[in-house]
């Protein structure tokens, strides 16, 4: 009885142990699957399209009409600017009027006839019926009561008159903004075929704190009256005419003349012919959207030409984005816009040149605006109420076009692959092309494999075929030891020792392998002609020991005389010569340095695996070959290499995988500049180094963060495929044997 | 490359067999392959020589030379390097007294009018501003009364002075003693002056803790997986999947593990622990930023394949007869595993552990995302409950090399320190790997002798 109970316990334990062990096996699969799945999960939201939740919209009273409206970041208060020049602030939760302000002290009978809100919000340009124009800066600021309830008021408005002539000029088209201590205003007088650019400069007296505004007005003639206009940054402006022309202007450096920009278009695009209805700048004022009659929406941007002047470039055009296209609204934070039709709207993104899904819009709307936090779309309806529609933009600026195609970014001379994820200003246009990183990754791997694969494979063959007994074990162990060298040490040595040392002896470094190989071949040929007794004494297995001191002397001589050699042959260092003769740019931390350092990391790995492959060839084969009278070398090359080939290929591929994923060496031994160039004398940035540089700084959950996860997934996929292929090659080769 | 094969029936007369025609291409071939091995060995030897010689030289007390320059400036320097251009670089010390506040000069050698080695010069290690080179007059209540190289008197506050070494009086043994003292200080002291001076003690502690924690996490998992593969599994599609997974896990770039660790452990689990388990307010993070635990977990994941491969090798080395003998005597599989197979596989398992430790000690990329920092304000172990603080950020030798070498304002001053740290790390890893390789060789001998 007792015995059976103990047997049962033993069996139970056995089954339990088996279960746990199986779980451990499954755990590895789960770990890999989970790792991949997690990367996918983090990157997947990038594929989400912007959504407007029309069904969750609420309507809040704003009370009456006006020229402009706006909301606070929490969308709890809304303001409107009336024609009488009154700013009215209303609580959007209960409709209570919170404040009224009259920032533009208007003369009796003077009214506002036009006003425009800058894309980033906070600055209003307003023109009066007498022809005066002012820029007003104000914000809606929260206040906390005793019960911590939030209420709102206006901050004190700063109003500056940039056109203070009450000459009655009817101004209805205008745009203004503030750039540090400069105020910009562009306007056109109704019926006049001219456009004006006003620059105001603020000087603050340090002692009294008094502000002095100096204003200068430039004008340029137009072929026809302006239909609408918008400011660009640094005083540029774009004017749309009723006859369909879209013109760019830029003041000269000394602000004496207003010069027209030539216009160009992306290949396959032509500017539309319909009359212009509206011109609006996107946030950052680096590009504009133009609305034409006939439901055409265009994206124009100024880009520098070779002579440093600007041209106005048509980057994208959309036909009939919505029914009855009237206007566009822009996001205050990113290059997202809303094409507004009679009764529908559509979200778009200018960098990628994408339009997303449609959403209904109440007919007769007065204005549309995206709240500062980009979470609510506010539609000012004809009845004076605002309809607040929750918005989820997701990541409209991160699409496969931005990752993998050439993009015409604002301010760059041509469409290009650029990775520059963050910039100095909040309204920076993120540039997230993965192409430079992928090119950098492949370039680094290529230059690492170039020296290391031949050395590793030849060395492995030597080790497996010509070295005997303890010498072979010693070499193998030594190489295995090399495989364990931490990459951070190699990277640091590459950057702080190799790079400066190689600077003036590239010729020698490049010649060195050739010289050494030649010396070895020469010695080998001599050896083969030695009488047999001598050859036995210095048999093939001793060749490496013979060569070692010779190589040391040769390398020492060649590297020492490097600078002198270059001076004697070229008159200057090789790098300078290449730059002067062929305009090859040079950076000290470049692909060759990385190639050497990373090659040193990859070689032992490939060496070890390839040696195993050579050694796994059945001994019967090689012994039969030798017995039949083939030489050692013939046996090695014709009998041992062919069956080992799959294993050798697999070893090289695993080396490739290692080189592709290596981080610290490239991080330290290159300048990490994300350029798309195969020039070995320049640096690069790899996917892995990019992750190390940017991920710690990236905001969790933001587009950049997810793009970095995508690039990690890409890296994972690259190595996964390479490793899988290596495995496949190896297994197939083994089956053949 | 090789000779054309002779027609059948007439085998080539091999020179090895005493033939008459020398096999020139064969000799060239053998020597070319030998060249690859020789080149690799040469590079490796030079690499080790460079790192270890410079690392060791960082602690070697060089005599203080008095240089009088052509403009009358008097310096007490330790020469560092001579350049092809005829310039010399030397460490001057006395950073706060030097023009430009730099403690290195690089000048043409021709500017030096006279050199001598003053017997009474002292080298003073200080808490701030790096070393002081000069002469010590007396130690008084208000501090150390010293003279600068040019004779100007100064007083160094007593709490600034760590030690005074009259380097130039030392003989060879005195220097060697000082060298050992310097090494000991390097190992046992905290870094000073934002890592540009002092030792690497916290980095050593951080590395050890990280590796220890990682071992505890990875060993059961890795050994279980290996036991499954080698003892329990039959050749099914699932086993092949496990094998492919192990191979791929070994091939995944380490930075990808770091990305996963940051996203899943730090931001995912860390956030969960902070706000759901500990109930911290939403603006406070404890586990929600990188820390020791997350870094160790990431490294554990990364080293699974290392442990699996080595353990499997160990398991294979256990003779089949012992396994079957145990089962024949009526042991269950678990009992056979527990009492016969695992003890037999111990060398393999230990090899795996050592290799994993070596890998984790040398890895940097995933750590910099998951909780290793350049300068941690405090150690993760202290006298306060719970004594080991898993959420704290730690320092790490490998990352120390990166930060000190690449984020210091004064690269020249820290270069010896970086070489010293690199030599230490390399030594550590070489010893670990050497041990593992020797153990593995033993396992393999058993495997082959079976």
pLDDT of A641 > 80? The answer is yes
Is the ipTM here above 0.85?
A: yes
Q: Do A491 and B368 touch (CB under 8 A)?
A: no
**pLDDT classification of B283: cutoffs 50, 70, 90:** confident
Cβ-nearest to A715 among B17, B253, B437: B253
pLDDT of B401 > 80? The answer is yes
Report the Cα A322 to chain-centroid distance in Å: 31
Q: Which of B61, B36, B30 is nearest to B131 (CA)?
A: B61
How many Cβ atoms sit within 10 Å of the Cβ of residue B12?
A: 19
B433 to chain A: nearest residue by CA?
A: A481
Q: Tell whether B81 is within 8 A of chain A (Cβ).
A: no
Cβ-nearest to A28 among B34, B249, B258: B249
Q: Do B2 and A631 touch (CB under 8 A)?
A: yes
Q: Do A727 and B245 touch (CB under 8 A)?
A: no
**Total-model pTM:** 0.90
| pLDDT tens-digit readout, B134-150 | 898 888 888 888 888 88
What pLDDT is recorded for position B306?
92
Q: Kindly list the residues from chain B whose CB atom is less than 8 angstroms away from the CB atom of residue A520.
A: 28, 31-32, 34-35, 38
How do beta strands A263-265 and A310-319 pair?
parallel
Give how far Cα B136 sits from Cα of A166, A399, B63, Å.
82, 69, 16
Give how far Cα A65 sits from Cα of A69, A82, A398, Å.
9, 7, 38
Q: Do A462 and B252 touch (CB under 8 A)?
A: no
Phi-psi region of A723 (alpha: psi -120 to 50; beta: other; left: phi over 0): alpha
Residue range(s) occupied by CATH 2.130.10.10 in chain A: 60-404
Beta strands in A403-547 (DSSP E): 419-420, 431-432
* Contacts of residue A582, Cβ cutoff 8 Å, sequence gap at least 6: none
Look at the alpha carbons of B157, B185, A496, A568 in this order and tell me if their dihedral is positive or negative.
positive
Query: Cα distance from B42 to chain A (closest Cα, Å)?
Result: 7
CA B23/CA A592 separation, integer angstroms: 37
Q: Do A719 and B252 touch (CB under 8 A)?
A: yes
What pLDDT is recorded for position A2?
58
How do beta strands A344-349 and A354-360 pair?
antiparallel
**pLDDT classification of A459: cutoffs 50, 70, 90:** very high
Query: Cα distance from A141 to chain B (closest Cα, Å)?
Result: 23
Cβ-nearest to B245 among A29, A475, A708: A29
pLDDT of B15 > 50? The answer is no
How many CB pairs lie under 8 A apart between chains A and B? 369
CA A176/CA A198 separation, integer angstroms: 9
pLDDT of B13 > 70? The answer is no
To the nearest whole number, what is the mean pLDDT of chain A? 90
CA B44/CA A478 separation, integer angstroms: 9
Q: Kindly list the residues from chain B whose CB atom is less than 8 angstroms away from the CB atom of residue A633.
A: 1-2, 23, 25-27, 29-30
**Any idea what DSSP says for residue B59?**
T
Cβ-nearest to A668 among B3, B13, B406: B406
Q: Scan residues 219-278 of B and list those with Cβ closer than 8 Å to A.
A: 220-221, 223-225, 227-229, 231-233, 238-239, 241-242, 244-260, 262-264, 267
Q: Kindly list the residues from chain A whose CB atom is less than 8 angstroms away from the CB atom of residue B338.
A: 17
Q: Kindly list the residues from chain A whose CB atom is less than 8 angstroms away from the CB atom of residue B401.
A: 488-489, 492
Phi-psi region of B70 (alpha: psi -120 to 50; beta: other; left: phi over 0): alpha
Asked whether A46 and A706 are in contact (CB, 8 A), the reply is yes
What pLDDT is recorded for position A442?
94
Q: Do A481 and B11 touch (CB under 8 A)?
A: no
* Contacts of residue A649, Cβ cutoff 8 Å, sequence gap at least 6: A726, A729
What pLDDT is recorded for position B311?
92
| pLDDT tens-digit readout, B46-84 | 999 999 999 999 898 888 988 988 888 888 898 888 887
How many CA atoms are closer than 13 Å to the CA of A104, on its beta-carbon side?
30
**pLDDT classification of B20: cutoffs 50, 70, 90:** low
What pLDDT is recorded for position B4?
43
H/E segment holding residue B125: strand B121-126
**pLDDT classification of A737: cutoffs 50, 70, 90:** low
The stretch A569-588 carries a mean pLDDT of: 85
Residue A439 sits at the vertex; the CA angle it makes with A729 and A573, to the nearest 5 degrees, is 115
Query: Cα distance from A152 to chain B (closest Cα, Å)?
Result: 25
Tell me the β-bridge partners of A237.
A231, A249
How many CA atoms are closer than 13 Å to the CA of A531, on its beta-carbon side?
1
CA B436/CA A507 separation, integer angstroms: 40
**pLDDT classification of A434: cutoffs 50, 70, 90:** very high
Q: Which residues of B159-188 are buried (b: 16+ CB within 10 A; e: fewer)?
A: eebeebbbbbeeeeeebeebbeebbebbee
A155-169, A222-236, B210-224: least confident range: A155-169
pLDDT of A446 > 80? The answer is yes
Asked whether A555 and A512 are in contact (CB, 8 A), the reply is yes
Q: Tell whether B23 is within 8 A of chain A (Cβ).
A: yes
Asked whether B290 and B371 are in contact (CB, 8 A), the reply is yes
What pLDDT is recorded for position A463?
92
| pLDDT tens-digit readout, B365-383 | 999 999 888 887 778 887 7
CA B248/CA B390 separation, integer angstroms: 29
CATH number corresponding to A60-404: 2.130.10.10
Q: Do A459 and B33 touch (CB under 8 A)?
A: yes
What pLDDT is recorded for position A586?
85
CA A341/CA A323 separation, integer angstroms: 5
Cβ-nearest to A654 among B37, B251, B422: B251
Q: Do A14 and B332 touch (CB under 8 A)?
A: yes
Architecture of domain A435-502+588-736: Orthogonal Bundle (1.10)
To the nearest whole number, what is the mean pLDDT of chain B? 86
pLDDT of A1 > 60? The answer is no
What pLDDT is recorded for position B21?
64
Asked whether B400 and B223 are in contact (CB, 8 A), the reply is no
**pLDDT classification of A680: cutoffs 50, 70, 90:** confident
Q: What percent of chain B has pLDDT over 90?
A: 34
pLDDT of A630 > 60? The answer is yes
What pLDDT is recorded for position B50?
95
Cβ-nearest to A723 among B29, B248, B338: B248
| pLDDT tens-digit readout, A177-223 | 998 889 999 999 988 899 999 999 988 888 887 888 899 999 999 99
| pLDDT tens-digit readout, A690-730 | 999 999 888 888 889 999 999 999 999 999 999 889 988 88
Asked whether A463 and A544 are in contact (CB, 8 A), the reply is no
| pLDDT tens-digit readout, A279-309 | 999 999 999 999 999 999 999 999 999 988 9
Query: Cα distance from A641 to chain B (closest Cα, Å)?
Result: 13
Q: Which of A342, A265, A261, A337 is nearest to A304 (CA)?
A: A261
The stretch A22-47 carries a mean pLDDT of: 92
What pLDDT is recorded for position A501?
87
| Best residue of A664, A666, A719 to probe chain B, by most B CBs closer than 10 Å | A664
**pLDDT classification of A502: cutoffs 50, 70, 90:** confident
**Any idea what DSSP says for residue B381?**
B
Rounded (to 5) percent helix, strand, coil in chain B = 55, 15, 30
Q: Which residues of A278-292 are buried (b: 16+ CB within 10 A; e: fewer)?
A: bbbbbbbbbbbbbbb
Torsions phi, psi for A412 (to 5 deg): -100, 150
pLDDT of B19 > 60? The answer is no
Q: What percent of chain B has pLDDT over 70?
A: 95
Q: What percent of chain A has pLDDT over 90?
A: 58
Q: Scan residues 410-449 of B and list those with Cβ closer than 8 Å to A.
A: 411, 415, 418, 422, 425-426, 429-430, 432-434, 437, 441
| pLDDT tens-digit readout, A137-171 | 999 998 887 777 888 999 888 999 999 888 888 89
The stretch B396-409 carries a mean pLDDT of: 87
Residue range(s) occupied by CATH 1.10.3720.10 in chain A: 435-502+588-736
What pLDDT is recorded for position A96?
87
Q: Do B27 and A716 touch (CB under 8 A)?
A: no
The stretch A639-661 carries a mean pLDDT of: 92
CA A188/CA A171 separation, integer angstroms: 6
CA dihedral B218, B219, B224, B226 (to 10 degrees): 90
Question: Structural domains in chain B?
Answer: 65-188 (no CATH), 201-449 (1.10.3720.10)
């Amino acid at each position: 009885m007792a015995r059976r109970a103990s047997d049962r316990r033993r069996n139970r334990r056995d089954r339990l142990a088996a279960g746990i062990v199986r779980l451990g096996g499954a755990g590895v699969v789960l770990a890999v699957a989970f790792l991949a799945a997690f990367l996918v999960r983090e990157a997947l939201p990038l594929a989400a399209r912007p959504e407007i939740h029309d069904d969750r919209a609420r309507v809040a009273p704003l009370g009456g009409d006006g020229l402009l409206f706006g909301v606070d970041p929490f969308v709890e208060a809304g303001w409107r600017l009336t024609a009488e020049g009154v700013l009215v602030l209303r609580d959007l939760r209960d409709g209570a009027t919170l404040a009224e302000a009259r920032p533009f002290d208007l003369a009796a009978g003077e009214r506002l006839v036009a006003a425009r809100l800058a894309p980033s919000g906070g600055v209003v340009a307003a023109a009066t019926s007498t022809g005066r124009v002012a820029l007003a800066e104000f914000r809606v600021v929260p206040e906390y009561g005793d019960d911590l309830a939030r209420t709102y008021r206006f901050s004190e408005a700063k109003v500056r008159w940039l056109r203070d002539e009450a000459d009655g000029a009817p101004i209805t088209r205008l745009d203004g903004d503030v750039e540090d201590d400069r105020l910009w205003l562009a306007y056109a007088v109704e019926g006049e075929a001219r456009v004006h650019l006003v620059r105001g400069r603020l000087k603050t007296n340090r002692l009294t704190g008094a502000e002095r505004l100096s204003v200068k007005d430039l004008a340029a003639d137009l072929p026809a009256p302006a239909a609408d206009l918008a400011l660009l940054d640094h005083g540029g402006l774009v004017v749309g005419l009723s006859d369909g022309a879209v013109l760019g202007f830029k003041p000269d450096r000394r602000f004496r003349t207003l010069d027209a920009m030539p216009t160009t278009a992306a290949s396959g695009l032509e500017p539309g012919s319909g009359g212009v209805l509206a011109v609006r700048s996107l946030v950052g004022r680096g590009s504009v959207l133009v609305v034409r009659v006939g439901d055409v929406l265009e994206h124009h941007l100024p880009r520098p030409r070779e002579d440093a002047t600007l041209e106005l470039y048509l980057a994208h055009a959309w036909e009939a984005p919505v029914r009855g296209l009237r206007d566009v609204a822009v996001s205050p934070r990113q290059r997202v816009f809303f094409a507004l039709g009679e009764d529908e709207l559509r979200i778009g993104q200018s960098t990628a040149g994408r339009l997303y899904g449609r959403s209904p819009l109440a007919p007769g709307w007065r204005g549309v605006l995206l709240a500062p936090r980009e979470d609510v779309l506010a539609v000012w309806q004809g009845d004076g109420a605002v309809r607040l529609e929750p918005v989820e933009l997701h990541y409209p600026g991160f699409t496969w076009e931005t990752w993998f195609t050439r993009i015409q970014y604002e301010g760059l001379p041509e469409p290009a692959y650029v990775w520059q994820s963050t910039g100095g200003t909040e309204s920076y246009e993120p540039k997230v092309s993965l192409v430079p990183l992928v090119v950098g990754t492949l370039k680094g791997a290529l230059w690492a494999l170039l020296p290391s694969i031949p050395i590793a494979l030849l060395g492995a063959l030597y080790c497996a075929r010509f070295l005997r007994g303890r010498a072979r074990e010693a070499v193998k162990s030594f190489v295995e030891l090399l495989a364990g060298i931490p990459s951070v040490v190699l990277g640091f040595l590459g950057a702080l020792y190799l790079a400066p040392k190689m600077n003036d002896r590239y010729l020698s470094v490049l010649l060195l392998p050739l010289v050494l190989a030649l010396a070895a071949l020469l010695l080998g040929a001599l050896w083969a002609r030695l009488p047999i007794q001598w050859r036995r004494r210095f048999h093939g297995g001793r060749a490496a020991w013979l060569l070692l001191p010779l190589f040391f002397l040769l390398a020492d001589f060649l590297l020492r005389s490097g600078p002198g050699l270059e001076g004697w042959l070229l008159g200057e260092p090789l790098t300078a010569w290449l730059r002067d003769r062929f305009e090859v740019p040079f950076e000290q931390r470049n692909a060759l340095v990385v190639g050497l350092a990373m090659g040193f990391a990859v070689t032992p790995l490939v060496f070890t695996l390839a040696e195993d492959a050579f050694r796994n060839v059945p001994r019967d084969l090689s012994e039969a070959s030798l017995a039949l009278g083939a030489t050692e070398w013939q046996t090695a090359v014709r009998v041992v290499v062919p069956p080992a080939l799959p294993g050798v290929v697999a070893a090289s591929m695993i080396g490739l995988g290692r080189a592709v994923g290596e981080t610290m060496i490239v991080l330290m031994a290159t300048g990490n500049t994300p350029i798309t160039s195969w020039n070995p004398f320049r640096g690069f940035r790899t996917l892995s180094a990019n992750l190390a540089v940017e991920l710690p700084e990236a905001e969790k959950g933001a587009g950049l963060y997810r793009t970095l996860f995508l690039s990690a997934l890409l890296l994972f996929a690259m190595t996964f495929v390479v490793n899988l292929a290596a495995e496949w090659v190896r297994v197939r080769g083994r089956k053949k044997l | 490359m090789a000779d054309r094969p002779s027609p059948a029936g007439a085998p080539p007369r091999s020179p090895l067999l005493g033939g008459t025609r020398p096999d020139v291409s064969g000799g060239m071939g053998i020597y070319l392959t030998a060249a690859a091995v020789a080149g690799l060995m040469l590079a490796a030897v030079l690499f080790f020589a460079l790192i270890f010689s410079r690392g060791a030289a960082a602690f070697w007390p060089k005599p203080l030379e008095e240089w009088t320059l052509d403009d009358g400036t008097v310096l007490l320097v330790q020469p560092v390097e001579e350049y092809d251009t005829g310039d010399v670089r030397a460490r001057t010390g006395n950073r706060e007294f030097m023009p430009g506040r730099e403690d290195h000069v690089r000048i043409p050698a021709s500017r030096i009018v006279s050199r001598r080695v003053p017997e009474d010069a002292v080298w003073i290690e200080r808490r701030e501003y790096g070393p002081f080179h000069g002469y010590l007059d007396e130690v008084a209540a208000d501090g150390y009364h010293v003279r600068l190289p040019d004779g100007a008197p100064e007083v160094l506050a007593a709490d600034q002075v760590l030690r005074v070494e009259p380097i130039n009086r030392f003989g060879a043994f005195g220097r060697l003693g000082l060298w050992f003292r310097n090494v000991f200080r390097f190992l046992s002291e905290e870094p000073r002056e934002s890592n540009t001076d002092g030792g690497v003690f916290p980095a050593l502690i951080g590395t050890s803790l990280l590796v220890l924690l990682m071992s505890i996490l990875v060993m059961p998992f890795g050994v279980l997986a290996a036991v499954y593969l080698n003892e329990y599994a039959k050749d099914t599609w699932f086993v092949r999947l496990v094998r492919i997974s192990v191979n791929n896990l070994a091939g995944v770039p380490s930075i990808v593990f770091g990305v996963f660790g940051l996203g899943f452990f730090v931001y995912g689990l860390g956030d969960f622990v902070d706000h759901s388990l500990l109930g911290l307010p939403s603006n406070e993070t404890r586990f929600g930023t990188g820390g020791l635990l997350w870094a160790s977990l990431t490294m554990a994941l990364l080293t699974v394949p290392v442990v699996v491969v080595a353990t499997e090798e160990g398991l294979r080395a256990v003779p089949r007869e012992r396994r079957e003998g145990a089962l024949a005597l009526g042991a269950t599989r678990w009992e056979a595993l527990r009492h016969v197979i695992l003890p037999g596989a111990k060398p393999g398992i230990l090899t795996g552990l050592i290799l994993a430790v070596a890998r984790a000690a040398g890895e940097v990329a995933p750590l910099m995302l998951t909780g290793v920092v350049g300068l941690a304000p405090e150690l993760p172990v202290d006298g306060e409950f719970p004594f080991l603080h898993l959420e704290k950020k730690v320092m790490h030798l490998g990352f120390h090399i990166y930060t000190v070498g690449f984020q210091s304002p004064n690269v020249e001053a820290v270069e010896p320190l970086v070489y010293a740290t690199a030599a230490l790390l390399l030594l550590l890893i070489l010893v670990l790997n050497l041990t593992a390789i020797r153990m593995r060789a033993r396992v393999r001998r058993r495997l082959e002798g079976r």
